[in-house]
Amino acid sequence: MSAERVFIVGSRGSRLALRQTELVLAELSRRFPDQHFQVQEVRTTGDRRPQAPLAAIGGQGVFVKELESALRDRRVDLAVHSLKDVPTELGSGLVLAAVTERGDMRDAVVSRGHRRLADLPAGSRVGTGSLRRAVQVRALRPDLEVVDLRGNVDTRLRKVEEGLVDAAILAAAGLARLGRLERATELLDTDAMLPAIGQGALTLEARVDDAEAIEMASALDHRDTRLATTAERAFLARLDGGCRLPLAALGVVEGDSLRLRGLIADQEGQHILRGEVAGSASDAEALGVALAEQLLAQGAAELIGEVPR
């Protein structure tokens, strides 16, 4: 490893993204104390249009495309992403050099009056910008009004405080990394609210021809998280989900075994298909495809065919 080289690390400019990059660099600096790093903020499409629905502005890749361009143009050497934001097809010439140990993968409820989801009065307004969260909230509480809520974590917390919504659903990992987890009324069990693919994990993306950056980043790769999210992302890829349909999955690795649960639904949540597979963790990708095939056999193909690209 060249101690003279300064690695430029690309990050979105949001407070959460910069905090996540800070955590990654702290771990890299601990392992490579003589190495120098510099953070380069990159503004993405998702950051420029914070109120627009993700599906309307390009889907899952809106938070990573500009970072990938910066990598290919050699303006940055590594890019730090939330894995859930990364499409299953990477940009040409790029690789996920590391998937870090997963944080809390659950979703959190933040509400006025510190009420749990089950205790919100009928008709309460619950905010989320996620189709996945919306359909699962409606399945749990069809008497609640689910409304669109975009913006960064602070914006969404403020909208709860101001009463624009009675509650919001956010990722527990993001709240924890910002030191705001005490704002959560409850953490939803994954049996009630399956998380997004890759939720809670961070990833470092590099150029395939930069062996030095890949070698360094790979020191942070976490076996169990890599295997679990490989299965989840294979499930997503086979269903060609992106942000067009509500889709969720969670892989759990225990030793050499992997259990994968998933769901897909129509946009209104009137039809929710769920499935589960288990097998060898070494077959992570095949398990993801197998779960997708299971849901396709239940009728997922019809749901996917109903949604225009």
Catalytic residues: 85
As a whole number of angstroms, the distance between CA 222 and CA 248 comes to: 21
Asked whether the beta carbons of 130 and 169 are under 8 A apart, the reply is: yes
Q: For 156-287, where are the E strands, in sequence order?
A: 167-171, 186-187, 202-207, 247-254, 257-265, 272-280
Instruction: Specify the pairing of strand 125-128 against strand 167-171.
Output: parallel
Asked whether the beta carbons of 228 and 140 are under 8 A apart, the reply is: no
Q: Which of 261, 255, 262 is nearest to 223 (CA)?
A: 255
Provide the token pair at 287: 């398990």
As a whole number of angstroms, the distance between CA 143 and CA 159 comes to: 21
As a whole number of angstroms, the distance between CA 87 and CA 64 comes to: 8
Provide the token pair at 304: 């996917």
